[in-house]
Amino acid sequence: MITTSDNDTSYRLRSVPSSLSHMHIQSNLSYYGNIECIQEVDQLPPSSRELIITFDSHAKHSLLKKIWAVNIRGYNISIAKAHITDSQLDYRKKYVVGFKGFHHKTTKS
């Protein structure tokens, strides 16, 4: 599991498709900075996959704090600080429910 010192630089990806390898994830998230570690979250149902991504201290953490999802090979995957609980994430989703779509010149991701 994550230690307290890692909380500032660690983020959790939820509902990660099994078809995505660590190499795909590292390649797509490298925009935000160097990834020090990718960990699979243990003790989840077989149909669920979550990852803990730990970035180095020089990553774009101010940008990472503002985003709610990342696009990895066409999959929009939820990203949040690793220490945020499931109930906090569910509460945060309520603000996205009213989303009505993108402007006609804006792409999905």
Domain boundaries, the chain: 4-93
How confident is the model at residue 101, as a pLDDT? 56
Q: Identify the three-state secondary structure at position 20.
A: coil
Residue 4 contacts by C-beta under 8 Å, 6 or more apart in sequence?
Answer: none
Q: What letter does residue 31 receive in the DSSP assignment? A: G
Write the single-letter amino acid at 92.
R
CATH of domain 4-93: 3.30.70.330
Q: Which pLDDT belongs to residue 104?
A: 57
pLDDT in tens, the chain (109 residues): 444 345 688 999 988 998 999 999 999 999 999 999 999 988 888 778 999 999 999 999 888 888 888 989 888 888 888 887 777 777 666 665 555 555 555 555 5
Is pTM beyond 0.85? Reply is: no
The pLDDT score that the predictor gives to residue 2 is 42
* Residue 69: predicted pLDDT: 86
- Which residues on adjacent β-strands are paired with residue 72? 75
pLDDT of residue 20: 93
